[in-house]
Structure 1
Amino acid sequence: MKIDFIVCEDNPKTRKTICDWLETYIDHKDIKLLVATSQPEEVLSFVTEDEATKICLLDINLNEKINGVALAEKIRNININTKIIFITAYAEWAVESLNRNIEPFAYLTKPLDRQTFDWHMKRLLKKIKELQDLQLHPNVGLIKLEAYGRTHYKKAEVITHIETHHKEGYLTVHTIQGEKIIHRSRLNDMLQLLNKIQPSIFVQCYKSTLVNPYYIESTDKKQGEIVLKNGIRLFMSRSREVQEEIDKRVMGENS
């Protein structure tokens, strides 16, 4: 897994903090810090199409001719697969990036928090590894969903969550494409099957629901609720054991 970090931050102190924190993840062989700079043009010179996945941590409010959002657009024009993490002190910039269809992996709000930084970084590195594994083994994780004479073949990781159907013995499988696929199975049997195909991806968050932790945006333990990245809300068990397991999975820590 080859990864290149690129940091563009105009505050020297913040830039140094980010570089110091990245040392946890850098091995100087397959995972490197290519450049840490305040100059957008220097960033662009390092963004290339090669085997290494680029992760750009960009300050949105740069004191330059272009801001971080415009810089992200230029980066994506060079290498569409570059992962973007925005750094900002102003929440309203998130709307600007959405309007330009940047779709960053995450936003880091100033003043930076180490725990939040590590949380996003672990999630991103885990996702990159999963994608690279899929490219090497394209048929790994394929699951057959069938009911009423129809059969769908889906990768386990494109499934966001699974719920019991109103008809006993059937499930509704939800995907990132917004599909709702009916599958004949019981929830516990489905969880066992998924764990055989791709272990430790799904967790039972409620008596009638399985969830893929990668797609979890937030949890509310008091309300017993999960919000997915697509805005869908799911019930979450109030069991401390279940909630701790969900936290571990979201952080990329297997049981």
Structure 2
Amino acid sequence: MRIFIIEDQFIFRKKIIDLIHSASAHPFEIVEVLNERTFFQEIERMDIYSTDLFFIDIDLNFYLTGIDLAEVIRGRNRECGIVFCTSFEDKTIEIVNRQILPLGYLVKDKNRGLVQQDLARILQKFVTNTQKDAGSHLKLIINQGREKTIINEADIFYIATIPSHRNTLTLRYQQQEILVPGKLRTLKTELKSPFFIKELKSFILNINKIEKLYSTDGLVQFIDQTILDIGLVGTKKVQQFLREENSDVSG
């Protein structure tokens, strides 16, 4: 596994490298990027693998921001890990709307001990995710009377309660929507994939299917252009989930 450190502050770049060595015994190949301009030019020719992890400074001293650079990387590979190094907490919406889907955030102004804890959790999460068998897909089995519907968890966009129908849910996946008997809390337990947001009272959302988040309107738009009204509190919780990566990291 390769780890790319794209950070223009020499002291923090060295700090990340030192902390990686102390936080994990995994034999990572660390690539220290010393010239962002050259690296950006090389990205178009690079092979980027799902096992690659990028630590990127949001506020690069460069004509491109770290978010711009991450967007290019994400365009080359949808599965690689991206972690933002930042002192800002107001970039979540932009990052979501640009479909970067970061693994987490490292906050620069935290003390060394807290940064090391966050980094250790990020590395453990990344190693765990990449070591999963790429050919095995988690399935959700829906019992509908005498019939069973088997759905890849990765194909699910969202699951929502129906206010007028007790113990009935609506589940959207691929290009269709089905009614599912049962309670939302039961499915929250059954779903095992790490990309689901389960903190909402009436919804389960697949973070990989979110295209845009409209925080002032309480709306989520998915990649198939479906729009779901989850309320202002709901969008705030989604932002919090994306910022803290399911309480694994904070930013």
TM-score by length of 1: 0.56
Q: CA deviation at 1:56?
A: 0.9
- By relative contact order (CA 8 Å, sep 6+), the higher-ranking structure is 2
SS in 2 for 1:136: coil
SS in 1 for 2:61: coil
- Contact 2:159/2:171 (CA < 8 Å) preserved in 1? yes
Correspondence for 1:37:
33
SS in 1 for 2:60: coil
- Contact 1:202/1:210 (CA < 8 Å) preserved in 2? no
Q: CA deviation at 1:97?
A: 4.9
- Contact 1:8/1:59 (CA < 8 Å) preserved in 2? yes
- Contact 2:198/2:205 (CA < 8 Å) preserved in 1? no
Residues 28-67 of structure 1 mapped to structure 2, 5 A cutoff: 28-29=26-27, 32-40=28-36, 41-42=38-39, 48-49=46-47, 53-67=51-65
Correspondence for 1:133:
132
Work out whether 1:143 is the aligned partner of 2:109.
Answer: no
| Structure 2 alignment gaps of length 5 or more | 209-219, 223-228, 234-244
Work out whether 1:153 is the aligned partner of 2:150.
Answer: yes
Q: Equivalents in 2 of 1:98, 1:209: separation in Å?
A: 21
Which amino acid is 2:132 matched to?
Answer: D
Q: Equivalents in 2 of 1:42, 1:209: separation in Å?
A: 44
1:169-216 alpha-carbon deviations (Å, 9 max, x no partner): 4334467x7976421235676567x27xx599999979x76868989x
SS in 2 for 1:61: coil
1:64-108 alpha-carbon deviations (Å, 9 max, x no partner): 454323333443454454332222335566566566x25241444
Q: Equivalents in 2 of 1:199, 1:95: separation in Å?
A: 23
Cα 1:191/1:62, change in 2 over 3 Å: closer
1:7-51 alpha-carbon deviations (Å, 9 max, x no partner): 11111221122223222554353xx14222342124765884365
Q: CA deviation at 1:109?
A: 3.9
Q: Equivalents in 2 of 1:20, 1:181: separation in Å?
A: 50
User: Of 179, 183, 193, which residue of structure 2 is paired with 1:182?
Assistant: 179
1:132-180 alpha-carbon deviations (Å, 9 max, x no partner): 5352323xx21233559997532346476664764344334467x7976
Q: Equivalents in 2 of 1:146, 1:180: separation in Å?
A: 15
Q: Equivalents in 1 of 2:126, 2:186: separation in Å?
A: 26
SS in 1 for 2:54: strand
Correspondence for 2:11:
13
RMSD of Structure 2 on Structure 1 (CA): 5.1
Which amino acid is 1:39 matched to?
Answer: N
Q: Equivalents in 2 of 1:78, 1:199: separation in Å?
A: 23
SS in 2 for 1:23: helix
Q: Equivalents in 1 of 2:7, 2:69: separation in Å?
A: 12
- Contact 2:161/2:169 (CA < 8 Å) preserved in 1? yes
Q: Equivalents in 2 of 1:126, 1:6: separation in Å?
A: 17
Between the two proteins, what is the percent identity of the paired residues? 18
Cα 1:144/1:23, change in 2 over 3 Å: same
- Contact 2:49/2:77 (CA < 8 Å) preserved in 1? no
